[in-house]
Amino acid sequence: MQLIPRTLAVPLALGLFAPSLVVHAEDKVRMNGHLEGGYQYDSNVTVDELNTSSDQSDEAWVFDAGLEGVLKPTRALNVTLGYSLSGRRYQNLDQFDQDIHLVSADISYDFDPVTVGTSYHYSHATLGSDPFLDFRRASVYLGRLIGEDVYLLASLQDKSKDFDDSEARDADIRGVSLDSFFFFNQARSHLLVGLDGDREDAEADAYDNDLLRVRLALVHKFTLGGEDNRLRLGWRYEDREYDEVTVTSSDPLLNDPLTGDLTERSTSKRADRARILEASWRIGLNEVFSLEPSISWGNYTSNVDSADYDKTVAGVSLRAAF
């Protein structure tokens, strides 16, 4: 279960490039919205931010609703404001129920051929109906179109995590991202190659870590039965290395009887790895409604037992866009 939004920059980059998403000069204001509800199966209900795995499966009702306003005072200036509420309600493990409120603001200016912008995102998450986590992210970014079908987007981020009941995990994070979009099919489809790096400094040294993330996604839009369809395949790899070193002995009998010191010591740092595969198909039913089945599989490995597990999530949702 991810309580921190991870895909905030991708819609921005698509909006900067794809002709079908750009607000034209004569459209000074535009409003977009969506309502979505569905049902989901989770083979191992978890809270990633706490490295907590229930080792139990459950089903949940899921929902998502959002509203976005796009302002274009001039041809080159773009201002986007948004709010969304998403959540899930489990059938049995209601202590894992969640809500996420997300507020966002973005302003960019197209200097042609370079676009410069800044954005701010704030999310408030509840877990089991109790306040859980406040997450803030401020970023500056630079985007440029290379040729006619390649778009590069680089960003620097300043992030913070504020836990309601775990001050030791509160952290300031410095991050950098680079996304490369390779468009085809008349810009209706694209391949994304993304790279993220984070340095996280927590209140407790045990949670200080460095993160490297690699993202791949193929998004293909096509028409089937006269309606728009979207197929998405994704893969993500995460490598998180913690700073704190633990000193242990492989056998208590190796203690020196005269000094009490360990005659053989081993040191280790916590290391977490994650490999996630995702697939979804948004099937257009008409101009407003679409049906989207999805599935993901994750392999999480760690030398900490609570963060070492596999999970599969599958579901289907009905979406209305306006």
pLDDT tens per residue, range 113-164: 999 999 999 999 999 999 999 999 999 999 999 998 999 999 999 999 999 9
Average pLDDT over residues 275-291: 98
Contact 88, 60 (CB under 8 A): yes
pLDDT for 53 = 85
Work out the pLDDT band at 25, boundaries 50, 70, 90.
Answer: very low
Is the confidence at residue 66, as pLDDT, over 60? Answer: yes
CA–CA distance from 271 to each of 206, 209, 224, 245, 250 (Å)?
12, 9, 45, 11, 19
In the predicted model, what is the mean pLDDT of residues 227-240? 97
**Domain parsing of the chain, residue ranges:** 10-321
Alpha-helical segments (H) within the chain:
10-17
What is the helix (H) or strand (E) element at residue 18, kind and residue range?
none
Lowest-confidence region among 82-91, 149-158, 204-213, 257-266: 257-266
Mean pLDDT value of segment 273-289? 97
Higher pLDDT, 24 or 233: 233
How much is the pLDDT for 17? 53
The 10s digit of each residue's pLDDT in 237-253 is 999 999 987 655 445 55
> Over 50: is that where the pLDDT of 81 sits?
yes
- Give pLDDT, residue 142: 97
* Strand ranges inside 58-203, DSSP E: 58-71, 77-90, 98-110, 114-127, 130-146, 150-163, 171-184, 189-202
Q: What secondary structure does DSSP assign to 70-100, as a single string?
A: EE-SSSSEEEEEEEEEEEEEESS-GGG-EEE
Predicted confidence at residue 247, as pLDDT, reads 54
| Fold of domain 10-321 | Porin (2.40.160)
Rg (CA), the chain: 22
Give the pLDDT of residue 51: 77
β-strands 209-224, 46-47 pairing: unpaired
Residue 244 is predicted with a pLDDT of: 80
Following CA atoms 201, 202, 208, 213 in sequence, which dihedral angle do they give, to the nearest 10 degrees?
-70
Least confident span in 37-41, 46-50, 127-131: 46-50
pLDDT at 20: 39
pLDDT reading at 105 higher than 70: yes
